[in-house]
Amino acid sequence: MAAEGGHISKLKLEVMKRSKLYMLVGALLLASLFVLPLWNITLEAPQYPTPIGMNIYITRFTGVGENDIRNINIMNHYVGMKEIPEVIPEFTIFPYFVGGMILLGLLFALIGNRKLYITWFGLMILLGTLAMYDFYQWEYDYGHDLKANAAIKFTDADGNPMTYQPPLIGAKRILNFRAISMPRIGTYLMVLGMALSVLAFIQHKKESAGKLSAVLILGFLVTGVWSCEVKPQKINYGTDACDFCRMTIVDRQHAAQLVTEKGKAYKYDAIECMMNDLKKWDRPAVAFYLVADYANPGVLTDAREAHFLISESIPSPMGAFLTAFAYETARADTFDSVGGELLYWSELKSEFDLTN
């Protein structure tokens, strides 16, 4: 009995040490934010064969390419937007918050109290939420506070001045640009550190659990963190099958794709297949609605911002004569040649009896 009791005590001590290690590593992963990018904004446009963009760190902005910040500032100047500054107040504040959370996490790991582990996780959620709100406010001001003497002024269909706010996360059409805003490696490592603090909480609570359960939990958490980036997938033309009609996808000017919020991609050989599939959609919510740009074969564009044309002069794979264009000017040129019916996303949904 004494030997059995000693074995149990040894197991509890081992598990407790492991929970401390998880918390220790989780806190130290935040140190990566001092050297790795937290976020990225990319701009895609026909005039830039290689997209331009900037990485956002907790202490600075940097261009993805050597002259990307300069090129973005030049474009901003013409439409009255502010230049991307070299320094913002957050660059002074954020390092102290990150450093403080690292030290707090290390202290909690040494104390070894499970309630402190989950407290650290809660504080990270709170600070992360505040940081995202601050980022949104910065984007809003960046895209809405325009100079009155801008060289070029654009208006929407109602005659109101256009604004140029990038998306908080995901993709958005701004004039002839597709702006993509997504987290980068620093954010993923931060989320992994937060997941480890939850694992430390679970591991400490279940002190008698074996090594296998801890490894499995960590494996699921790591897999979840690294698979959380939701993005479109490449369509392998001539190989991939349409997820609606099962025909092989070969037409680069009419293909389409849906990507759910869980990251699952559904590919289609025609826009009409995508729309018909949406009629019976019972899968996770859709994050991306993508259609091929007729004027740029093989390039997918946001369906919600696209310009559609139904013309019997342009056959589509499944007979709906439905074509999409990323830019209004390209659709107008084609319409002048072939005629047809002009639609936008809301009208296209009505055409297919989609109300959501």
Whole-number pLDDT of residue 278: 92
pLDDT at 230 over 50: yes
User: What amino acid occupies position 203?
Assistant: Q
Question: What's the whole-model pTM score?
Answer: 0.57
Tens digit of pLDDT for each residue in 185-205? Answer: 999 999 999 999 999 888 877
The distance of Cα 280 from the centroid of its chain, to the nearest Å, equals 26
Residues 181, 53: Cα–Cα separation, whole Å: 10
Neighbouring C-alpha atoms within 13 Å toward the C-beta of 67: 5
Q: 3-class SS at 132?
A: helix
pLDDT mean over 332-347: 94
Whole-number pLDDT of residue 206: 65
Whole-number pLDDT of residue 339: 95
Tens digit of pLDDT for each residue in 70-105? Answer: 888 887 777 777 788 878 888 889 999 999 999 999
Whose CA is closest to 108, among 235, 20, 209, 8? 20
State the CB neighbour count (10 A cutoff) for residue 49: 7
- pLDDT-based confidence at residue 356 (cuts at 50, 70, 90): low
Calculate the average pLDDT of the chain.
Answer: 84
- pLDDT-based confidence at residue 226 (cuts at 50, 70, 90): very low
Tens digit of pLDDT for each residue in 13-26? Answer: 444 478 889 999 99
Whole-number pLDDT of residue 329: 92
Q: Out of 130-134, 160-164, 218-222, 224-228, give the one with best mean pLDDT.
A: 130-134
- pLDDT-based confidence at residue 156 (cuts at 50, 70, 90): low
User: Tokens standing for 153?
Assistant: 């002024």
- pLDDT-based confidence at residue 215 (cuts at 50, 70, 90): low
pLDDT at 106 over 70: yes
Tens digit of pLDDT for each residue in 23-49? Answer: 999 999 999 999 999 999 888 887 777
pLDDT mean over 179-187: 91
Tens digit of pLDDT for each residue in 295-307? Answer: 999 999 999 999 9
